[in-house]
């Protein structure tokens, strides 16, 4: 299937190169799954990516949560992700001023060197995005920023006014490929989609096929509902890496997400 047929107005209106790349991979793999690869060691991460790579379009990391981090160990994670043809997404949630965000893209973890997508808060204003983009430019790479317009965690402070102002910052920036929405509520996702229109992506954490609640205030909604409500990617962690067979779970999430996209057109 051609991406324009699968994605309809989203393909026609999203111009960010990383959005286009993501939509192509999603069509090749018939999967709108972003694996939240929240495991403690690089060895476990490499194994997980190898086991589910066929069924996921993107691997999302928290590089600063890796135990005993080493550059060599991380290079193996990056190599496996490239081998599996998935995008790498560091969920860094930048929140400082532009200059500091630019330096934080380098440093020990050198996120600018391997991440294709990163998240950022908008709380510090629009320059944080320019700082992130400048860091990618320094190493002659192009990446996409997802701004947190909503969150899935209970009691979060991202109210409607904050969401609207975040969308204004995002719409005005060529570096912002889209927004994070709250996948645990299809009402939240459809409200967000109405405001965003077709020109930017919405990716949603807080989805599970089996659980309604996670640990420490995580909330869950149904992944197919999230896609039907206008999400373009489901971010799934425990639902995959916490199952008896991560491969089978990833396949199941991929199928649910793809069928929902086909229904949405
Ligand atoms: P889970 O195991 O499927 O609950 O993991 C969800 C992932 O999504 C985890 O890596 C979080 O860092 C990430 N996340 C989230 O849960 N909620 C949010 O609002 C944002 C990110 Br932004």
CATH classification of the domain holding 40: 3.20.20.70
Chain segment 131-154, per-residue pLDDT in tens: 999 999 999 999 999 999 999 999
Q: What is the mean pLDDT of residues 106-115?
A: 98
Residue range of the domain that includes 237: 3-264
Q: What is d(CA 222, CA 207) in angstroms, rounded to the nearest whole number?
A: 6
212-219 contact pairs (CB < 8 A, 24+): 214/238, 217/153, 217/154, 217/155, 218/152, 218/153, 218/154, 219/152, 219/153, 219/154, 219/182, 219/184, 219/185
Point out the catalytic residue in the list 2, 71, 83, 93. Answer: 93
Closest ligand 1 atom to Cα of 218: 4
What is the arithmetic mean of pLDDT over 55-77?
Answer: 98
93 in active site: yes
Between the CA of 61 and the centroid of ligand 1 the distance, in Å, is 10
The pLDDT value given to residue 165: 98
Instruction: Please report how the helices 42-52 and 246-264 are oriented relative to each other, as an axis angle in degrees rounded to 10.
Output: 50
Question: What was the pLDDT predicted at 211?
Answer: 83
High-pLDDT (> 90) share of the chain, %: 98
251 — pLDDT class (breaks 50, 70, 90): very high
Number of domains in the chain: 1
Alpha carbon distance, N-terminus to C-terminus of the chain = 13
Task: Give per-residue pLDDT as tens, 178-234.
Answer: 999 999 999 999 999 999 999 999 999 999 999 888 899 999 999 999 999 999 999
Q: 218 CB under 6 A from ligand 1?
A: yes
pLDDT at 265: 66
CB count within 10 Å of CB 37 equals 25
Q: Would the CB of 39 count as within 6 Å of ligand 1?
A: no
148 lines ligand 1 (CB under 6 A): yes
Cα of 222 vs centre of ligand 1, distance in Å, is: 14
Query: In DSSP terms, which residues pair with 258 in a beta bridge?
Result: none
Would you say the CB of residue 38 lies under 6 angstroms from ligand 1? yes
């Amino acid at each position: 299937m051609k991406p324009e047929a699968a994605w309809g107005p989203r393909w026609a209106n999203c111009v960010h190169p990383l959005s286009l790349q993501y939509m192509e991979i999603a069509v090749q793999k018939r999967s709108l799954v972003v694996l939240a690869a929240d495991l403690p060691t690089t060895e476990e991460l490499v194994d997980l990516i190898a086991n589910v790579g066929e069924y996921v379009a993107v691997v999302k990391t928290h590089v600063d949560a890796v135990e005993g981090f080493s550059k060599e160990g991380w290079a193996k994670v990056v190599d496996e992700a490239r081998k599996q043809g998935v995008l790498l997404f560091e969920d860094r949630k930048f929140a400082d001023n532009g200059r500091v965000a630019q330096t934080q893209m380098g440093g020990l973890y050198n996120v600018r060197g391997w991440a294709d997508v990163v998240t950022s808060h908008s709380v510090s204003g629009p320059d944080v995005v320019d700082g992130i983009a400048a860091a990618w430019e320094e190493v002659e790479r192009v990446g996409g920023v997802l701004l947190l317009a909503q969150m899935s965690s209970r009691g979060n402070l991202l109210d409607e006014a904050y969401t609207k102002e975040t969308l204004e910052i995002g719409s005005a920036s060529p570096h912002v490929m889209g927004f994070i929405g709250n996948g645990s509520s299809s009402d939240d996702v459809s409200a967000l989609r109405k405001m965003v229109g077709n020109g930017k992506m919405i990716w949603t954490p807080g989805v599970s096929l089996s659980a309604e609640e996670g640990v420490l205030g995580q909330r869950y909604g149904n992944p197919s509902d999230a896609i039907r409500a206008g999400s373009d990617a489901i971010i799934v962690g425990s639902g995959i890496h916490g199952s008896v067979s991560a491969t089978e779970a990833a396949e199941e999430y991929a199928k649910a997400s793809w069928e929902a996209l086909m229904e949405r057109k």
